[in-house]
């Protein structure tokens, strides 16, 4: 049985797919009507449900608030869908993280989408 939050996230993922965009955990949660939780924990939990119950939805369009991408499955799926994944230096942690090339152009802006309609 899916949760109300997972259903909301599923709706947002469908919007992202139609727009060909990605979104951060916080913006997905806000669009779905709840808080993302600490480090996006609430969204990540909802995404697990989405992957289980609606595996046709593109869960990998949800990226970290720091715009990071998971190295394993998510990065591969993004590349398969035409996004360029790059490694960048995280100045705060002094480590390499993955993100999207030109990430700002790939992030969903619901305000712009609604204005275009």
Mean pLDDT for 54-58 is 92
Looking at the predicted structure, is the pLDDT value of residue 91 above 80? no
The mean predicted confidence, pLDDT, of the chain is 90
pLDDT of residue 112 exceeding 80: no
pLDDT band at residue 113, thresholds of 50, 70 and 90?
A: low
Top-confidence residue, 102 or 1: 102
- Closest C-alpha to 57, from 66, 68, 46, 69: 46
Angle at the Cα of 34 from the Cα atoms of 29 and 39, rounded to 5 degrees: 55
pLDDT at 51 over 60: yes
Express each pLDDT in 11-43 by its tens digit.
Answer: 999 999 999 999 999 999 999 999 998 888 999
For the chain, state the CA radius of gyration. Answer: 14
Which domains does the chain possess? Answer: 4-116 (1.10.10.10)
- How would you class 95 by CB atoms within 10 Å of its CB: exposed for 0-12, middle for 13-18, buried for 19 or more? exposed
Written as one string, the DSSP assignment of 47-79 is: HHHHHHH-TTS-GGGEE-TT--B-TTHHHHHHH
């Amino acid at each position: 049985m899916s949760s109300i939050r997972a259903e909301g996230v599923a709706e947002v993922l469908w919007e992202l797919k139609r727009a060909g965009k990605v979104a951060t955990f916080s913006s997905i949660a806000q669009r779905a009507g709840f808080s993302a939780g600490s480090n996006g924990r609430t969204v990540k939990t909802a995404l697990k449900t989405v992957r289980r119950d609606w595996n046709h939805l593109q869960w990998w369009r949800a990226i970290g608030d720091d715009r990071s991408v998971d190295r394993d499955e998510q990065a591969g799926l993004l590349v398969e869908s035409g996004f360029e994944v790059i490694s960048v230096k995280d100045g705060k942690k002094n480590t390499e993280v993955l993100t999207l090339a030109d990430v700002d152009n790939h992030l969903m802006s619901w305000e712009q989408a609604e204005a275009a309609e």
